Structure 1
Amino acid sequence: MDSNSFRLNVSPNWVPPFQVEYLDMGSCHLGPSFPVWLQSQKNLQYLDFSNASISSHIPNWFWNISFNLQYLSLSHNQLQGQLPNSLNFSSPFLAQIDFSSNLFEGPIPFSIKGGHPIKHRNNLTGSIPSTINNCSGLIVLDLGNNNLSGMIPKSLGRLQLLQSLHLNDNKLLGELPSSFQNLSSLELLDLSYNELSGKVPSWIETAFINLVILNLRSNAFFGRLPDRLSNLSSLHVLDLAQNNLTGKIPATLVELKAMAQERNMDMYSLYHSGNGSRYDERLIVITKGQSLEYTRTLSLVVSIDLSDNNLSGEFPEGITKLSGLVFLNLSMNHIIGQIPGSISMLCQLSSLDLSSNKLSGTIPSSMSSLTFLGYLNLSNNNFSGKIPFTGQMTTFTELAFAGNPNLCGTPLVRKCQDEDLDKRQSALEDKIDGGYVDQWFYLSIGLGFVVGILVPYFVLAIRRSWCDAYFDFVDKIVKWLLFKRRVTYAKNHARRQ
């Protein structure tokens, strides 16, 4: 019955004359109160009340009938209050608990037993309980978009089967626990928008060999980037923006093998459970000047974002060999040097932001061949020379090139000196060409007049008989025209009388 806007109107005392094991009423209208009739169902194994317009508390009796559940989703409602201190699900086949996108408050339950994906995107407060390691079979843990604080517990590193960890958009402090080195199955790590600090640990290079997405955006990490991030051969997304990172961009980034492939794996269906339930992976990507959430199309995202740090050194030419790269953002750093002509090798590039650096030289003409490029920002640098305004480059406005005082040419208002010289030379050539045309025009008219008068004269002067015949013919024509005029005049005069 899911996804059909079905509205169930029954009395509060209604008792269903049946028992169900599988109940999927997602996107049906069941609220605003939590359905009391559910209390009679003793055999539930699958329950989906997501997006069901429920805006009350979860009654205590619900936890007494939920111990056999294999799937539970109460997401995208307006459920309120606190979750119980202990969530005990005895079923060994429990696939997923989803309480996300509600109005729950208070701490995370300190005791959660089971091996299943857990999603809590609410207003939960407090710290992450150290007892989280009780979920030894946990594959996905999503505690993003809450108000959690404190340090990440070391016990989290004991979840050795964990594949996806979302702790983003909280108020977590401290350094990454060294126990994370044990998370060898991890494929997604999203710790963005917290207050984490310290250096990006070098053990990431060897511990997370299966990592596909690494997002440490908007924290307080400092120091140099690890030299061997290239060991993350499965990495598709590297987002370290808005930190305090320093030093050069490692040249070894060229060895990120997954980014050098034009076809990428299907991230959307990475996480499956034994009973057919699936966790839908998601990721917020900042690109093209806006925040975009990717779910079903996440497999299309291949991105490097190192923006808003204190990185220096020359533009890493090796990065142009990552032909599968879709988004590249190195803006708001101190990068020097020139954009290499080999940038055209990034044939799938959709967004390129190199603004607010110290790049110089000319913009390579090869950029006009980047046919998928939909967003370009080269503003506030030291580029010079004429903009190669051809091909794909003609789709960008002056905003993409603003703040480069030595740049010229379309689409900027400032014209290049060689353009003015070319225009003056062209005008001079046109003037010269026009002068030649005028001279030949008048000369041809004069010659035609002379030939038209003199040639007949000489011919008639030499041939006397031709001359007499010619003038006799002219006399006849003149006499005939005078006769016709007299006849016409006589007729008109007679009509007037």
Structure 2
Amino acid sequence: MVVLSSIATEFVCYGNTHLMNCSEPDLQALIDFKNGLNDPDNRLSSWQSRSNCCQWRGIGCDNSTGAVIAIDLRNPYPLGSDSATRFGFWNLSGEIRPSLLQLKSLKHLDLSSLTFQDIPIPSFFGSLKNLQYLNLSKAGFIGKIPPSLGNLSSLQYLDVSYDFLSVDSLQWVTGLVSLKHLQMNGVDLSMVGSNWIEVLNSLSCLTELHLSLCGLSSFAFSLSSVNFTSLAVVDFSFNSFNSEIPDWFANLSSLVYVDITSSTLRGRIPLGFSELPSLKYLNLDMNNNLSAGCEELFRVGWGKIEVISLASNKVHGKLPSSIGNMTFLTDFLLFLNNVEGGIPSSIGRLCNLRNFDLMDNNLTGSLPEFLEGIENCGTKSPLPNLMHLELSNNKLVGKLPEWLGQLENLVGLGLSNNLLEGPILASLGTLQNLTDMGLEGNKLNGTLPVSFGHLSELHTLDISYNQLTGVISETHFATLSKLKILTLASNSFVLNVSSNWVPPFKVINLDMGSCQLGPSFPAWLKSQKELQFLNLPNTSISGSLPSWFWDISSNLSLLNVSFNQLKGQLPNQFSVTAFADIDLSSNLFEGPIPLPTVQIELLDLSNNHFSGSIPHNISNIMPDLIFLSFSGNQLSGEIPESIGQMSYLQVISLSSNHLTGSIPSSIWNCTYLKVLDLGNNNLSGVISGTLGELKQLQSLHLSNNKLTGEIPSSFQNLSSLETLDLGNNKLSGHIPPWFGNGFPNLRIISLRSNAFSGGLSSGLSNLSSLQVLDLAENNLTAQFPASLGDLKAMVGEQKVTKYLFYGKYRGRYYEESLVVNTKGKFQKYTKTLSLVIRIDLSSNNLYGEFPVEITKLTGLVVLNLSRNQISGQIPEGISSLQQLGSLDLSSNRLSGAIPPSKSSLSFLGYLNLSNNDLTGMIPDTGQMSTFDESCFDGNPGLCGVPLTVTCSNSDSDKGMRVWRMIIMMMGSLISGFT
């Protein structure tokens, strides 16, 4: 708080060495007041009827008359203090008796932070005519604030904050003609109407106004006249104004402190704030829709400003060099905005700057190589008072400037998630006050400076996700006894410490993923008794987990040792903290599935050598599990029905095992399920229609099993589904006609290698998100549907990779994958799956002419129509499929010439036109010249390279004449339309 009211302390000195005796009526009034209070710890023991009340605790008297003028019984340990003191000796409660009215000279009454639970503010307080100070805050009062308080015409200070109070009208406040300080934080003012500011405007003496968390929803944009011109402090934070900042703010020249945080303000930040001559503190954080251009807002003014906090708004533009003129500035907080450009070197003139935070903006360019005005600060080091520099999550480039290592009072440095490169400055290791350093997510290279071992105050070090290399030794940690968070992941560090090394630190969070810690499990972890988060994936560790590891694991909330070479059998039960995440995937563990001793939320044991059955009591031990993956093991037996009792599951991945039996019908109880992957097992039976109850399901993989029957009609309820993979089973029946309407988000359909029959519904063209359609190797018999040319997601090139992650939970997720037949080979796609646009209808009985409509699908990468009965000519428009990488039209009844335009398909790497009735010369230019004769075999009428059949002139001329006629006819048609 910039402005401190002197009213609150006016009566702190209750007397001097020449105390008058208090009057008998005052004494008796106080005794009666005491008798109404609950005083369990005898705090008011000095209040005795035969003693001078001017000497009692909390009582102040007039030095000349002896009249009681002050009662101060406030609890010096307010809410948030240690409960033993908050509710111990200093606590008073009970009733407030009207005997206080006998204190005719009472000016000061402070009952704040007591516990008058469930009683209203006494209305007789409004009759204490001489009262100048009244503080009832945080004392547990409930109900309406009595309007009788408006009779206190001498009152200068009123605080009724943080009770359980409400007001229907503020009209009574107009009677407080002497009021200087009004604090009503937390009072429910939602019913006061829209004229509340006009009412308060009548208080011409008002200097401080605090109305935070009051439920206010309107804000008068203009006032006919501004009367509260003495206002120095305004706190309207945490309301819901949904309006612009009123113009009259710019007329309050006495303003020193303004806080309108998180109050749904919108529109422009008034430039008048910069012209207020006394303004020291401005906080408009978290309004989200306030805007201003930096060049305009910070161009001039701000003569005495100390704190500017405009975080989480829409401040934009570049910071002007004039920011260096705000020489009183201590805090500049503009994180979560749209500030662009670089950091001006003029910030070097801000000698008082303590906190500079522009995190989460659009800053570009490099940090200034030099800072201006260092000589004006009276020190050799730049920005001598700077404690926190936070520029994370921007687009800053270039190297770290040398002046960073000269910020001798720096406590926190945040430059994470930028594009910074070059080495880490060794001079950063000389910043003896540094507690937090975040350089992660950049392109920094080189080694970790040994000087970092001198950062004895360091609590957090995060340099993960860079391009750092080299050996890290014990010297790097020599004095880091206060280190609690160490994150070195995704670099190429090699940890080289002695086998008996005991680190000076006891970290809580350790992340060294992708660093080389092996070959054996790090023995120094045995000393880390406070460890809660252990993340060591891909760290070249092999061998067995040591027995002592299970002694330190009981505090772990995260255990990730995935992608190593750890082996052996794990304990049947292991100890971690409740609701932990356990990832032991991609190792060499074997034996039965281990289970935790407490319920956890994530368990990933995929890609190991675990065997045996899935424990039937799994739901009893982990009823709240959210992520379950046992895929890629050697599990056998049936999936237990009890899995349906784990109702919070979002991911079930049991693929690539030897599981048998049917799919448990109980899975429908897992209503939060987003992924069900049971592929590559030996499951049999029909697909239960109860799976249609999984309304949030996004990915369903049941491929490579022995499932029979038809696709359940209940599947049309799976409106969130994006992947449907039922390939390589024994499913039969027709492809349901409701496919086109039931799956608005479907990206992938794979029904290949089943026994589906019938035709293809024209409704498939309604699947506007479809990128993969694989119906190969079925018994489909129908005319090739021209409507497939309307698949919108196959039009246009997919230029941006969208990672298909489902069931994401606390940094863990199921990564979508699909095995597809491309260029005659089966390949598994994961990270680039979103770029795959393909149609595979091969090995069916489709007939009719090759539909020219297919040529509208300009994003197609793979088209396989082989082994059908398709006839007619290959359309010339096939040249529009410029992204085509694989084209297989073999074993059909296609006739006519190969369009010369095919030569323009520059990405075409696989072509098979064999076993058709094509004729004429094979185009020998461009990409067509790269294919061998096997691509054209079985077409007796084809000639030319690469075949051994030489074209006669008549063959060549005949082919050219045909295409010439087609071009002439198209020209005539076009001219006819024009």
The alignment's TM-score, normalised by the length of structure 1, stands at 0.80
DSSP-derived class of the 1:205 partner:
helix
DSSP-derived class of the 2:540 partner:
coil
* d(CA) in 2 for partners of 1:75, 1:272: 16
Which has the higher mean CA deviation after the structures are superposed, 413-422 or 307-316?
413-422
Q: Which residue is 1:21 aligned to?
A: 557
* d(CA) in 1 for partners of 2:568, 2:626: 27
* d(CA) in 1 for partners of 2:908, 2:665: 46
1:151 deviates by: 0.1
- Alignment of 1:115 with 2:646, yes or no, is no
- State how 1:100-111 maps to structure 2 within 5 Å: 100-111=631-642
Which residue of 355, 368, 385 corresponds with 2:903? 368
1:275 deviates by: 2.3
- State how 1:152-231 maps to structure 2 within 5 Å: 152-231=687-766
* d(CA) in 1 for partners of 2:956, 2:700: 61
Please say if residues 852 and 875 of structure 2, whose CA atoms lie closer than 8 Å, have aligned partners that are also in contact. yes
* Residue correspondences, number: 417
Which residue of 358, 365, 373 corresponds with 2:893? 358
* d(CA) in 2 for partners of 1:244, 1:146: 24
Which residue of 611, 618, 624 corresponds with 1:87? 618
- Alignment of 1:346 with 2:881, yes or no, is yes
Which residue of 387, 394, 398 corresponds with 2:929? 394
* d(CA) in 2 for partners of 1:286, 1:214: 14
Q: What root-mean-square deviation, in Å, do the aligned CA atoms of Structure 1 and Structure 2 show?
A: 2.1
Please say if residues 606 and 630 of structure 2, whose CA atoms lie closer than 8 Å, have aligned partners that are also in contact. yes
- Alignment of 1:2 with 2:537, yes or no, is yes
* d(CA) in 1 for partners of 2:556, 2:755: 51
1:221 deviates by: 0.2
* d(CA) in 1 for partners of 2:680, 2:726: 11
Structure 1's unaligned 5+ residue stretches are 423-497
Please say if residues 355 and 378 of structure 1, whose CA atoms lie closer than 8 Å, have aligned partners that are also in contact. yes
Which residue of 136, 139, 142 corresponds with 2:677? 142
Amino acid at match of 1:32: G
Please say if residues 231 and 256 of structure 1, whose CA atoms lie closer than 8 Å, have aligned partners that are also in contact. yes
Distance 1:354 1:159, change over 3 A: same
Structure 2's unaligned 5+ residue stretches are 1-535, 958-978
DSSP-derived class of the 2:803 partner:
helix
1:29 deviates by: 3.5
Please say if residues 93 and 275 of structure 1, whose CA atoms lie closer than 8 Å, have aligned partners that are also in contact. no
Which has the higher mean CA deviation after the structures are superposed, 91-100 or 24-33?
91-100
Please say if residues 111 and 134 of structure 1, whose CA atoms lie closer than 8 Å, have aligned partners that are also in contact. no
* d(CA) in 1 for partners of 2:894, 2:956: 28
Please say if residues 574 and 597 of structure 2, whose CA atoms lie closer than 8 Å, have aligned partners that are also in contact. no
Distance 1:264 1:179, change over 3 A: farther
DSSP-derived class of the 2:681 partner:
coil
DSSP-derived class of the 1:137 partner:
coil
Amino acid at match of 1:116: Q
DSSP-derived class of the 2:806 partner:
coil
Please say if residues 628 and 649 of structure 2, whose CA atoms lie closer than 8 Å, have aligned partners that are also in contact. no
Please say if residues 267 and 281 of structure 1, whose CA atoms lie closer than 8 Å, have aligned partners that are also in contact. no
- Alignment of 1:31 with 2:557, yes or no, is no
Amino acid at match of 2:796: Q
Which has the higher mean CA deviation after the structures are superposed, 275-284 or 125-134?
275-284
Q: Which residue is 1:452 aligned to?
A: none
Please say if residues 162 and 186 of structure 1, whose CA atoms lie closer than 8 Å, have aligned partners that are also in contact. yes
DSSP-derived class of the 1:279 partner:
strand
Please say if residues 174 and 197 of structure 1, whose CA atoms lie closer than 8 Å, have aligned partners that are also in contact. yes
* d(CA) in 2 for partners of 1:421, 1:218: 41
* d(CA) in 2 for partners of 1:202, 1:306: 17
DSSP-derived class of the 1:155 partner:
helix
After superposition, what is the alpha-carbon deviation per residue over 1:115-137, rounded to whole angstroms, capped at 9, x for unaligned? Answer: 22111121100000110111111
After superposition, what is the alpha-carbon deviation per residue over 1:365-385, rounded to whole angstroms, capped at 9, x for unaligned? Answer: 000000000000000000011
Q: Which residue is 1:426 aligned to?
A: none
1:250 deviates by: 1.0
Select the structure of larger CA radius of gyration. 1
Distance 1:176 1:9, change over 3 A: closer
1:265 deviates by: 6.5
1:70 deviates by: 2.1
DSSP-derived class of the 2:918 partner:
strand
Structure 1 segments of 4+ aligned residues over 6 angstroms from their partners: 89-93, 419-422
- State how 1:26-105 maps to structure 2 within 5 Å: 26-35=562-571, 39-43=574-578, 45-59=580-594, 62-65=595-598, 67=599, 69-88=600-619, 94-105=625-636
Distance 1:328 1:89, change over 3 A: farther
Please say if residues 95 and 275 of structure 1, whose CA atoms lie closer than 8 Å, have aligned partners that are also in contact. no
Please say if residues 896 and 919 of structure 2, whose CA atoms lie closer than 8 Å, have aligned partners that are also in contact. yes
1:85 deviates by: 2.4
- Alignment of 1:276 with 2:807, yes or no, is no
* d(CA) in 1 for partners of 2:908, 2:798: 18
After superposition, what is the alpha-carbon deviation per residue over 1:125-164, rounded to whole angstroms, capped at 9, x for unaligned? Answer: 0000110111111000000000000000011000000000
* d(CA) in 1 for partners of 2:802, 2:664: 29
Percent sequence identity over aligned pairs: 52
